Every structure is written in C-alpha cells, then in structure tokens.
Chains A and B, each alone.
Chain A
Amino acid sequence: MNETRPTCVNGVAVAIDVEPRTTLADFLRHRLGLTGTHVGCEHGVCGACTVLVDGAAVRSCLMLAVQAQSCDVVTVEGLSSDEALSPLQASFRRNHALQCGFCTPGILTTAHALMRDEPDASEERVREVLSGNICRCTGYVPIVNAVVEALRDARAARGKEAP
C-alpha cells in the first residue's frame, strides 16, 4: 500500500498516493490530469517537464512524486487564469515563441522563475538559463526575444508603479 503524503499543486492541497517510482511528472500528468507538463526524454536533458517546486525550476522527470511531500508545486496550468494569458505568455504569443508547443510549458515555468528571481536579467543570462530547455521548432531567437521583452515590460511596469 502506498503511503500518502501531502503536497500542494497550483494552490490546491493534494495527496501523493502513488508508488515511490512514479516521477513527479507522471504524478502531475496521470494522477492529477495536469497534462500541460510534458515528458520529452525522461532522462533530464530536454527540460520540457520543468515545473516549479517551492519556487525553483526543476525537471519533474528527475524528481520522485514522493519527494514533493510538503512542497508547493506550480505547473504551467498555474501560471495564468482562464481570463487572460500572463504577460509572459502574451509576449510569447506576440513573438511567436512557440510552434508545436511541446517544449513550451517547460520554458514558461523556467522563464517565470527567472523573471521573479532576476528581474534585471540580461539577454545573455536569459539564454544561459534557458540553455537547459530544448526546442526543436523555433530556433530559440523568438523565445529569447519574448522573455527579454517580458522582462523589459515588467521593469517598465514597476517603474510606473514606483511612487
């Protein structure tokens, strides 16, 4: 019988009640039905499965579901509401930063963490941080443009809000 451990996914408390060998990726996709997180390689290279665990971008194929006990997990589904795309997502759309969309959730979560932790990140830093996410369709130029633009817009918005 699997031990049940508590965790929180996209703000909702859930129980991890799967075999220890179930990866966090498979738990999210098949147990919780959150299929936005994609599995591209299952050996920690492509980054398509990236989610946020306690705010940090991690490869969910390289984490056991049971290791997410008492953590705060955020997937691509948790990055926006039904009503609107997040500014980052809107920037992706404007810049055509996705084609087949398979790698996209992993890139969004990674970029989301970067934007939150390093709001002044340079273009070079954006490239470096995203170098662990493989995209076969776009050739990356539009992705980097989208993230850089979102960072710039966020800085401008903060500038406007400052007293």
Chain B
Amino acid sequence: MTLSNRLIGSHTQRIEDLRLLRGRGCYIDDLKLPGCLYAVVLRSSFAHARIVTIDTSEALARPGVRAVVTAADLKGQIPRIPLRMHAHESLTPFQQPVIAGDRVRFVGEPVAVVLADSQALAEDALDAIAVEMEELPVEASAEQAPIAIAYAGTRGAAEQVFAIADYVRSASFSVQRQAALPMETRGLAAVWDAEKEQLTVYGAAKVAFANRDILAKMLDLPKTSVELRELDVGGGFGSRGEFLPEDFLVPFAARLFGRPIKWTEDRREHLMAATHARDLHCAARIACRADGTVLALAATADVDVGAYMRTNGSVSARNFAQALAGPYRIAHVHSSATIRITNKTPTGTYRGPGRYEADFVRERLFDIAARDLGLDQSTFRTRNLLRPDELPYAFPDLAPIPQVTELDNGDYFETFERCKADIGWDEKQLLQGRLHEGRYHGLALGCFIEGGGVGPSEDARLVLHADGSIAVHVGSSAIGQGLETVMAQIAADAFDLPIERFRVFHGSTTDVANGQGSYGSRATVMGGSAVVMAAERLKELIRTEAASRAGCEPTDIVLIRDAAVPPDGTPLLFTEFAELSAEATFLNSRNTYSYGAQAAHVAVDPRTGRVDVLDYVSVEDVGRIINALTLHGQAIGAIVQGLGGVFLEHVSYDDAGQLQVGSLAEYLLPTTTDFPVIRSTALENYPAPNNPLGAKGAGEGGIIPVAGVISNAVAAALASFAVEPNVLPLSPQRVWELIQESRHAGAVRSPKGQRE
C-alpha cells in the first residue's frame, strides 16, 4: 500500500491550535463538575517518620468540610501502586502505597485528603488536621542507601581491556535531580454512578489504559466499569500521567461518598508530589588506543530513585545501563546503574531518561580522552562512530530483565558532518579556548541515538460517519505534541481527503479496545501505524459495501476522494453509506533509533562563571517526517529543556530530606532570554524498517546530547584552566568555583597545553 504523501512531510498547521489559541481548550481544571466536592491533600512535612495518630475532628468541624479521608478508610488494606514497566519481584517491597499507612517516607507523601465545598475551604482546613509523627532517621543521600535493583549492560570483557589498554582514564560524574515541570499541574475529576456501577475519571494522560487497569483492580471493579478520559493536557515530558496516589484517592473518595470529586494540584505540591527525575551519580572509565580508538567504556552509577519505585522508576537506570555507548563502536562495555532508595520524592521518566545522563558521561570521557591523547574532538568521534554498513548493531546485553535490541539503520556520519557544517565547526576552531572581550570561547559536538517506537502494540479505530466525516480514535495520548494533527494527516493522506474531514479522538479508554498511550517516543510510530492499518481496513469495508450495492467485486471499486466508483462509473458518495468502522492493532517489538549530532558554541565569563550559549545546532535523522512544523518544535523544545537541565534546574534537598525548592522562583526554568539561538534540522534519509510509515520516534532526541555537548564546550572554553565540568548543573557559581580550584591547584595551562 502506498500513501499519497501530500500532507505527510508538510508544514501542516495544527488543528488543535484553533481552539487552544482562542482559550477554548478544556484542561482538567476547566471541567465543570456540578455538585462536586473539592479534594485537597495533606502531605507529610517530614522526610521519614512514623505516624502516631491522626486526629481529623477539628478539621471536620471547619466550614464547608464534608469529610477527611485517611488510611483508616481503607480498612487495613492500602493498595500499592504496581510497576507499569519493567516490574521485577525485587521491586515489590518498594511500591508506593496510595496513602501513608503507619509511615511517611518523603516530604510530600499523602497523609490525608480533605473534601470540602471549595478548594479554598479544603485548604483552610489542612492545618486543623492534627498529625502526630515520630521522626525517624533520614536517608538523604544515595551513596549508602538501600538498593532496590541494579541494572547492568554488558558487552565483551571491559575489565580485562582496562588492565592492558594504552590509555585508561577515570572520572566521576553527577547529574542532578530534575523535574519535568509541565506548565499545567495535575488534576482529576471522578464521577461514580452508583446505579450503573460506573466510574468515570477525567484528567487522564499518557497511559490511560494502564491506569484504568490498575484502578479497576484497586477498586475491585471490572475494567468495563471504569472509564478514563483524556482532555487537553498541558505537557507531560514523561512525567504526567503515570499512576500516582491521587489517581486512586480521588476516585475512591467519589465512590465512598457518592459525590463527584474534583482535585487540582497546586504548584507547591506539584514540586514535592509529582515525579522527579535523573539524579544519577557515577564513576566511569574509558580505555583507548593511543590513536583514540575506544576499546572499553565502563560506568558504575547510583540512581537516587527516592522513597518508592513508581510505575516507571526503573527506566532511567535501565537506559543508562543499556545505552552508554550511544552510536559508537565500543567492543567492551560494562555499565551498571544501581537504584537506591532514599527519603525523597520518587523519580521516574523525564524526556530521554537515562540517555541524557549516559550521553553526558560518555561524551565527557571522549573529550577528556581526546585532550589527553592530543586529538581534536571531531576526529575522536569519527574514529569511533559506527558506519552504516556496521548496522544493525546490537546493544549490550541487559540484566536483570534482558532486552534484545539493535541500532536499526542510519548514517551517523551524515548528520555529524552536517552538524559540523551548520555550526561552522572548522572555521570556528581558532576560537577554541581563546579569550575575546573578556570571555573564553569554546565549541564541542556530540552524537546521539534516541530509542523510540516502543511496542508492543497500539490500537486505532476509524469511523465513517453519516455526514462523511471520519473519526480517528487512537490509543495514543495527546500531551501537547500535536497528536491530533499528525494522526489526521496520516489518515487524510490514506484517504486522499482534506484534513478538515477528520476528527481525532485520543487517549481515553472509550476510544479503542487496548490502547497503550504516549511514552518512549512511540505515538507517531505506533499510533500512526495503527491509523495506517485501520485506514486500509476501512477503505476495504467501503469497497465491500460499495461492491455489494453495485453488484461487483470489491476489487473493482476505486476510491477517489470521498466517492467509491464502481466499473459503471456511478460514484457512491461516502455520505450514502451507513456508519462504518474499522479497527486495527499495530504490533511492534523493535525499537526505532533516530539519531543525530549536536554542537554548541559557548562564551564563558571567568569572573562570574556565567556561560552564554552563542549558538546551538542540532541535526537529526528521524526516518520519516510526518509534520515538519511539529517535529521542529519538538527538537527546539527538547534542546531548551536540556539546556535548562545543564544550567538552571535543580531539585535540591538538605540533609534532613527537606525539599529546598518550594516555588518556581527556586526551580529555575528557562525563559525567553536564556537561550535565544537554537537551530535544528531534520533529515529523513533512513526510514525505519519496522513500520509502514518509516518513521522513527523523535520527541526526545533533542534533549539527549545536550549535557555532554555543553559541558564539553565549557571545558573547551576553559581549556587553559584545565577544568572538568563533570557535575551538573553548571551554575555560574559552579563554573566560577572550577576556575578558582584550578587556579589554586596551579593547574593553569598556557594555550599551547604546557602546564605552568
């Protein structure tokens, strides 16, 4: 089957913009729920404590308060949230309970839920809940903390190689705790119909089907009795949508009290309750030949996952273990990531989980080695970059849950050379390490791969309505990435009809039978491919229907736009058919790997440590471009998030496990003036071999190499100080301190590389 390829690949303007630009979106807090009660969660202010008593009597007496839910209402059976991905028996003890039972384990853990006539009245009553807690010792650092599980990626025999290699170098690296921080906080609205025994929950995102299954089980309801509906969603980035305590507590309260319940998270609680990310610290080693050929790479990492294993808490450790070598030919790899339990907010996925960290470690080691061996950064990489004829190339073996996967196809040199050309790499080399108008200039570059198109399946259902419009139902979730438009483009090209004829419905459990959702850069690949399949089936149904009316064979029918034309030439318009619907499930067990290169030019003010990113360039091959506008938007957005992670963002805790970022004045997000120059180009020269679109998942590539590229650029700029920017974030103070330490240690080099 071939697609007409008119909308696919184009700069199709988004359908969802028409309502979003007018302020006519419907996000969860916009939903009016007549007769509802408002829920506000009381959260622990201790990092680790035993709950001695909870007295809700005073709170219940406060104006407008109707009920207060505590663990007692669960009658000794507090459900624990299962892992959605990579479940393993060793992780079961660390599952998060939906409400604190006898113990709180992080600041922000839910202790009670107040239900009142308004959110304000519920909040007023919080301080009336008397909770007596007995403080317990706090595990504030991952270093010696209890282990949940350890992932390891192994290829060859790295230890043996380190013993004999010409050049071996070690270094320690640290990627700070970050948070996805979508602009919309979480929210839920639950309605229980006691008569029909039907629960409807609004505010789902990302993985509505999995959450429906988890919730149904927790409430002891059949899946058919639970409906999760996705509305407009204000960003996700891997964080929003996973099953968290409130996803149980709000529906539970709705059923218990027979009233609709609305919950809107505020920003203060989002910072402590919504899932954090990254927080990986490692010791790493690289072994090379004198000519820069990388022989072995090893890393031993600790991941501070916080107090509990959330639904996807393993992913970053697992990806770090698996993807340390990136797109390079490294025969011997041993990467381990140990997940440790501390008394902090639990972590999970955030764009490029584990890969952002892995690329930082690897690319830093590459530049350290290049410098030590007297090679330039570009040559070092081309010496080790996989060639097209070496693909497919298997990833290291992964344990304890194996996954057999390989880099599929591509020309990593093409994107690398294009990236170099775009930033003007060769011409700008004379700036490296030079002081110009009070600032040191530096450039760096790096290559990356992005794993996407995660299986196993996705559903789509297309319905031809009597008015001739076609409804496209997908299991994929919209989180702001333009899903509606992309799916409509794919369907529109399949039918060769204008995009206005299509309406896309997404992410709700009512849409398709077995959706999976949007994560791991899978929506376009999986959902889009399911749409392609369902479109073909619907076309087949139309042909069959037309054939039976025209008295011919379905193969005799030709579909031309919105008409089915039989051999006698009398077209039957789609509007003449009764409602027809077709479903399809796209199955896939092979990840896709889009890939590319990024480069940066920075200028560092040595007196303040401030780093200005003068130019940032990215080139990525995504297999097939479906919507050029939205793809570009994903790249720029991801890169800026990556830059925020390198320079600004830090979820910090003190030694007592107290969260030190309580507002957006403390968790610093990038703004318009921070990174004004970002340039990104997409290629589509190597379509994915595993799906009818040829598309590769492409929403996360932009963020993955940023930390490595920037820290290398800073190191290049400050070459005369021999600094090693191995600890993120590179705040101005940290950069300044690196320079001071270097001065102190007398390690300042003259530009020719001689130690002074």
Chain A contacts to B: CB under 8 angstroms = 19, 21, 29, 33-43, 45-46, 48, 75-77, 79-80, 85, 89, 92-94, 96, 98-105, 108, 126-128, 130-144
Contact = CB atoms under 8 A, between A and B. Distances in A.
B181 A136 contact: yes
A105 B30 CA distance: 14
Contacts of A36: 22-25
A93 B482 CA distance: 12
A103 B183 contact: yes
Interface in B207-258: 232-235, 237
B641 interface: yes
B17 A98 contact: yes
B672 A140 contact: yes
A38 B530 CA distance: 34
Interface string B12-31: 01101110111111110110
A80 B665 CA distance: 33
Given A100-B232, A101-B234, 10 more contacts: A21-B120, A34-B23, A41-B664, A42-B266, A79-B22, A85-B21, A93-B18, A102-B235, A104-B20, A104-B21
6 contacts: A37-B23, A46-B183, A136-B237, A138-B636, A140-B676, A143-B672
A36 B663 CA distance: 23
Contacts of A77: 22-24
A92 to B, nearest CB: 6
Contacts of B738: none
Interface of B: 13-14, 16-18, 20-27, 29-30, 32, 120, 180-185, 232-235, 237, 266-268, 479-482, 629-630, 632-633, 636-641, 663-665, 669-673, 675-676, 678
B22 A45 contact: no
A98 B636 contact: no
Contacts of A21: 120
Given A93-B14, A139-B640, A134 B671 contact: yes
Contacts of A108: 21
Contacts of A133: 671-672
Contacts of B637: 99, 136-139
Nearest to B639: A139
B21 A139 contact: no
B640 A93 contact: no
Contacts of B480: 99-102, 137
Contacts of B632: 96, 142
B653 to A, nearest CB: 21
Contacts of B23: 34-37, 75-77, 105
Contacts of B641: 136, 139
A92 B267 CA distance: 27
Nearest to A81: B22
A111 to B, nearest CB: 11
> Closest 3 interchain pairs by CB?
A36-B23, A100-B480, A102-B234
A38 B663 contact: no
Contacts of A103: 183
Given A41-B663, A46-B664, A135-B183, A101 B30 contact: no
A110 B389 CA distance: 53
A134 to B, nearest CB: 5
A39 to B, nearest CB: 7
A127 to B, nearest CB: 4
Q: Which of B21, B182, B632 has the most CB of A within 10 A?
A: B21
Contacts of A101: 16-17, 20-21, 25, 232, 234, 480
A10 B154 CA distance: 63
Nearest to B31: A35
B234 A80 contact: no
- With a 10 A CB-CB cut-off, give which of A19, A41, A92, A131 has the most chain B CB atoms: A41
Nearest to A106: B183
B22 A136 contact: no
A38 B234 contact: yes
Most buried by B among A19, A80, A140: A140
Contacts of B16: 101
A89 B665 contact: no
A108 B298 CA distance: 49
A113 B620 CA distance: 37
Nearest to A19: B120
B672 A130 contact: yes
B635 to A, nearest CB: 8
Given A34-B23, A101-B16, A101-B480, A127 B672 contact: yes
Nearest to B481: A99
A137 B669 CA distance: 11
A41 B182 CA distance: 11
A96 B17 CA distance: 9
Given A77-B23, A92-B21, A29 B30 contact: yes
B268 to A, nearest CB: 8
Contacts of B20: 98, 101, 104
B21 A131 contact: no
Contacts of A93: 13-14, 17-18, 21
B26 A141 contact: no
Contact of A96 (B22, B630, B671): B630
A10 B652 CA distance: 43
B636 A45 contact: no
B267 A102 contact: no
Nearest to B120: A21
Contacts of A99: 235, 480-482, 630, 633, 637
B414 to A, nearest CB: 24
